[in-house]
A and B are shown apart, each in its own frame.
Chain A
Amino acid sequence: MSEQSTITEQASHPQAGLWSSYRTLLRWQFAQIGSMLPLIIVIQALLAGGIIIGFGFLIPNIDSATAMFLSTGAPTVLLLTIGLVIVPQGVARARTDGTFNYMRSLPLARPLLFAADLTVWVIIALPSVGVAVLTGWLRYDLVFSFNWPLLIAAALLITVMATAVGYAIAVSVPPMLAQLITQVLVFFVMLFSPITFAPGQLPGWFQTVHDILPLRPGADLLRAGLASETFDASGRDLLVLSVWCLAGVAITIRALVRRH
């Protein structure tokens, strides 16, 4: 355990090092979210079942290609649900009950608050990829062909993007509005995004919209990581996802640092 980068300004006003502050914040955040963790995992499992098994009922005589598409899209839906729905609801609550300002009044670099939050959510979100894969395997006996580096990179990038964008929404609009937007986003992700169904089923103009939004690109990247023999990754998707990721992080950090 190395205590690196200890910035000591003056002996009388010690400041904890960045690494040590980060670890302390993680401990704090985990304790706070910890009580919710079992519930989140249950919800994720139910959601995975709902998408993979439930959507399967909508399609009569589902063939294995469709089943594969559905099952490899489900992890993205789960990651997006956490980042775009659960995270902003938590942040909106923190703004209402004073937690947000409490944390901002501490002697910490404010981007560090976001880094700690992001870490916690990534750790909470990632197991849902496993949950979804397991459900698909149990239901349809699918054979996956993992491309591990791509799978890990895509899962991380989707989670960070969704969390950052969700955070950015929650810090940019009034808490009540943020809650409302997240409700709408659930439907958009589940029903109007070509994540669990092929983009060809959408009108042409809407496909173009999804080329710019991060949802379809993220889903396709993760899909290529899960079934690398069936699906290909595209550099453009990676770029779109990264741009959204950076925008979310930039907006969030600006909102954390800003004094109104």
Chain B
Amino acid sequence: MNQDVLRIAGLTRRFGATVANDDVSLRVRPGEVVGLLGHNGAGKTTLVSQIVGLLRPERGTIRVDGIDAVADPGAARRRVAMQPQAQAPIDGLTPRMAIEIAGRIRGLSSRDARTAAAQLAEELDIAQWLDQRAMPEGRGLSGGIRRLTAFAMTVAAPTPLVVLDEPTNDIDASRRRLLWAAVRRRGDEGAGVLLVTHNVAEAERIVDELVILDNGKVVASGTPASLRGTDDNDLRLELQLPPGGEDPTTDPRDLPVTTLRLVRTGRRVLLTVPAGEAAPAVTWATTLRDQERLDGFALGPTTLEDAYLSLTQSTPLEVSNV
């Protein structure tokens, strides 16, 4: 009964020698928001382009709400609404006209499309721009309002599957919060949402599941909690190195604490340690700071960002127990 609104299996797509999608499998159930995370060039946009029939997969299957999207892309497109990463073409239109047009194209009556536009403007707090015309060369409406309009166009009429490719780009912090809530609401109302983003920290709060893509491959998937660490008892120790300073974690034997995971990113070193070793960890870090080998440190609960960085680092620095 509760069939997946999106089921991708063994999807492979190459561009010349580059494997953009390498045997990718994922699923989105109704009512679920699934985040697709990955660096630039990880293959996210290639993946979503195949769902809406802009690209043809080399191998693998895509089913949208039970429809074979590779064999019948036209029927699949009626079941999925996508907000692409590029801005929607709304020059010459007001947000109200654009949302109404999008609703009409998806089969809403004129009256329902009007209602949808008014409601979405309210939900996303863009009512004051609703009748302001977008002009060429980015005049008339700001990038953020255009992006929110594009989101509203995508969800103007309900579809089983909603695909959002970086929907928060250019949007200010307060409306970003409204947008995240709106995305979550679409899931709660029964749609399946595939959310492509690199905004790990913000996406974490609204997604049910995450799929992490790196170099075209799925490197991890699961709930945010399961990806964050083995359990929620782990802690994250962040060491801030001074410019040009030597990394005190280079030799694993120097570490006085059990390190479950270790990630270096710029001048930051992120260690995941068991909660029980909080005291020795703090002592060690304090000593390092006193010796001026650190600019500072912080100890807190593990975040998804740590997991994400460690999963997508080209040379994983997993450190087992010493």
- Is A107 within 8 A of B84, CB to CB? no
B317 within 8 A of A: no
Given A102-B84, A104-B54; A28-B93 close (CB under 8 Å)? yes
Number of interface residues of B (CB under 8 A): 35
A27 within 8 A of B: yes
- Is B92 within 8 A of A32, CB to CB? yes
Q: Which of A30, A34, A106 contacts B77 (CB 8 A)?
A: A106
- Is A99 within 8 A of B55, CB to CB? no
A101 within 8 A of B: yes
Q: How far is the CB of A15 from chain B (nearest CB, A)?
A: 5
> How long is the Cα–Cα vector from A36 to B106 in the complex, in angstroms?
28
A94 within 8 A of B: yes
With CB as the reference atom, state the residue of chain B lying closest to A12.
B160
- Is A28 within 8 A of B101, CB to CB? yes
- Is A260 within 8 A of B84, CB to CB? no
- Is A97 within 8 A of B86, CB to CB? yes
Q: Mark B66-77, 1 if CB is under 8 A from A, else 0.
A: 000000011101
- Is B101 within 8 A of A27, CB to CB? yes
Given A31-B93, A35-B135, A105-B84; A24-B105 close (CB under 8 Å)? yes
Q: Mark A1-16, 1 if CB is under 8 A from B, else 0.
A: 0000000010011111
Number of interface residues of A (CB under 8 A): 33
Given A21-B105, A35-B92; A98-B86 close (CB under 8 Å)? yes
- Is A15 within 8 A of B78, CB to CB? yes
Q: Mark B143-166, 1 if CB is under 8 A from A, else 0.
A: 000000000000001011000000
A198 within 8 A of B: no
B204 within 8 A of A: no
Q: How far is the CB of B142 from chain A (nearest CB, A)?
A: 17
A103 within 8 A of B: yes
Q: Which residues in A have their C-beta under 8 angstroms from that of B88?
A: 102
- Is A24 within 8 A of B54, CB to CB? no
- Is B56 within 8 A of A260, CB to CB? yes
Q: Which residues in B have their C-beta under 8 angstroms from that of A102?
A: 84, 86, 88-89
B301 within 8 A of A: no
> How long is the Cα–Cα vector from A259 to B70 in the complex, in angstroms?
10
> How long is the Cα–Cα vector from A109 to B142 in the complex, in angstroms?
31
Most buried by A among B75, B91, B97, B135: B91
- Is A107 within 8 A of B78, CB to CB? yes
- Is B92 within 8 A of A105, CB to CB? no
Q: How far is the CB of B9 from chain A (nearest CB, A)?
A: 18
Given A21-B105, A106-B105; A101-B54 close (CB under 8 Å)? yes
- Is A101 within 8 A of B91, CB to CB? no
Q: How far is the CB of A98 from chain B (nearest CB, A)?
A: 3
A20 within 8 A of B: yes
Q: Which residues in B have their C-beta under 8 angstroms from that of A15?
A: 78, 106-107
- Is B104 within 8 A of A20, CB to CB? yes
Q: How far is the CB of B136 from chain A (nearest CB, A)?
A: 6
Q: Which residues in A have their C-beta under 8 angstroms from that of B84?
A: 98, 101-102, 105
Q: Which of A20, A28, A259 contacts B54 (CB 8 A)?
A: A259
With CB as the reference atom, state the residue of chain B lying closest to A25.
B105
A-B contact pairs, 9 of them (CB 8 A): A9-B75, A14-B107, A14-B157, A24-B101, A24-B105, A101-B49, A105-B52, A106-B77, A107-B77
Name the 5 nearest CB pairs between A and B, nearest first: A98-B86, A14-B107, A31-B92, A259-B56, A99-B89
Q: Identify the B interface with A (CB < 8 A).
A: 49, 52-56, 65, 73-75, 77-79, 82, 84-89, 91-93, 97, 101, 104-108, 135-136, 157, 159-160
